[in-house]
Amino acid sequence: MDLLNTLVDKGLRRELPTREEALAVLATSDDELLDVVAAAGKVRRQWFGRRVKLNYLVNLKSGLCPEDCSYCSQRLGSTAGILKYTWLKPDEASQAAAAGVAGGAKRVCLVASGRGPTDRDVDRVSRTIEAIKEQNEGIEVCACLGLLSAGQADKLRTAGADAYNHNLNTSEATYGEITTTHTYADRVDTVQQAQAAGLSACSGLIAGMGETDEDLVDVVYALRDLDPDSVPVNFLIPFEGTPLAKEWNLTPQRCLRILAMVRFVCPDVEVRIAGGREVHLRSMQPLALHLANSIFLGDYLTSEGQAGKTDLEMIADAGFEVEGAGTVTLPEHRADAIAAAGCGSHAGGADGGGGCGSHGDAGGGCGPCGSSEPAGSSAPSQAPKTDAGGDETSDARTDLVAVRRRGAGTDLAPNA
C-alpha cells in the first residue's frame, strides 16, 4: 500500500506526514487494519524497540473540581459516584506511589483535581515529590495539577519534578463545546510554562467525544507543533451520570487507527495508551502495544483499570518487555535536547498523568463527570452508531466501566 510505505519512510526520518495522509490512516478499512498496525509498528520499533514504559497514577485530591470539562467525573456539578477526598499527605502519597513502583512503574504521575494549584498547593506537592524521590531512587515524577501560574513550574522543577502533564484534549475549533470555564489557549500556555521551566512536557488528547476525523488530526498536529516528549492518548470512558455518558463512539479498530495516526505524526515521541484502553480496545489491547510504547499500570484516577499483574502478562505474551528504571525512554536526540535544556533526569521522557494521560480516567486530568447515576451503574444499551471514520460502533459496554474503590484515598490496597 503506497500510503503506508510513504508513512513508514517519513516516520523513520521524523518527517511530518501531510494532513491528507493522516486523514487517510483514519479512513482505512478493517481489511487494511493489520497492514496499518504493522506499518506504524515499524516506526515504533525504530525509536523505542520493544520496550513498554509503565506509569502509575496517584490521585492526590479527588472530585469537587470547579471546572466544567464535559468528559470529567470530577467536574463542577458532577453527581457521578466517584471517591471524593482532599489532599493526601506526602507520606500517604509516597506510600501509594510505592505500590506502583513495586509493580514495575518507572514514572509516578501525581494528579490533583481543580482549575490549578495555589502556591500553597505547589509547596504541598513539592514535599510529596521530595518524599517519593527520597524513597524510590531513579523514579521519575510527573505532576498534573491543572493550569499553572507564573513561577509554579520552576518550583516543581526545583522540588525534583521531571515532567508536567496538561492535555490539549481536542481541537481548538471544538474546545469550547467541551469546556467553558477555561480556554484552549490556557492549556497551551501551561504546557509552554512547563517547557520553559525545564520540565519534560506531556500533553495529549481524548478520542471518542463525538469529534470528527479532522478534529483528531487537528489536535495531533497541534501537539506536534507544541512538541511534548510524551503524548497520552485517552479513549473517553462514558461514565453514567456525565454529560458524555451516551458517547459510545469507539470500536477497537477505530482506537488502533487513532494510535497509528498519532505514531505517524509523532514518530519519536513517547505515545502512551491512557484512560479507556480496557473499555474500548478490550481483547485488542496487545495489538496496541505495536503502536504505543507506554501505558498506565493498574487503576486510573476515578475508574478501575486492568489488574497490574494482567498488564505485565499481556506485555510479556505480546513479545514486549517492561522498560527498566535505568533505561532512557526517549531516543537519543530527544533525550539530549532535554538534557541541554537543563532537565537532567527528565531524559526518561514525559509522562502523562491525569489529567495525566490526562485523565487516566477518561481522558483528561480528572476523569469523566456526571449526572445523578453513579458511574458503573447499568444503563440501557444503544443501537449501534457510526463513528467519524465510518465504522459501525459496538453497543454501549457499561459493564466495563467501574468506579475506583481502592488505592489512594481508601483503606484498600491499590491495584498495581
Return the active site residues: 65, 69, 72, 109, 142, 202, 272
Residues in the chain, total: 416
Locate 73 and state its grid cell.
467525573
Residues near 133 by Cβ (< 8 Å), separated by ≥ 6? Answer: 139, 141, 160
Residues 22/260, Cβ–Cβ less than 8 Å: no
Q: How far apart are CA 134 and CA 105, in angstroms?
A: 16
Q: How far apart are CA 5 and CA 67, in angstroms?
A: 44
Hey, what's the torsion of the CAs at 23, 174, 233, 229, to 10 degrees? 90
Q: How far apart are CA 307 and CA 327, in angstroms?
A: 24
Locate 317 and state its grid cell.
505474551
Residues 165/202, Cβ–Cβ less than 8 Å: yes
Residues near 344 by Cβ (< 8 Å), separated by ≥ 6? Answer: none
Residues 202/230, Cβ–Cβ less than 8 Å: yes
Residues 275/303, Cβ–Cβ less than 8 Å: yes
Burial group, residue 342, by CB count within 10 angstroms (0-12, 13-18, 19+): exposed
Locate 260 and state its grid cell.
497509528
Locate 303 and state its grid cell.
475508574
Residues 263/291, Cβ–Cβ less than 8 Å: yes
**389 backbone φψ class: left, alpha, beta (φ>0; ψ -120 to 50):** alpha
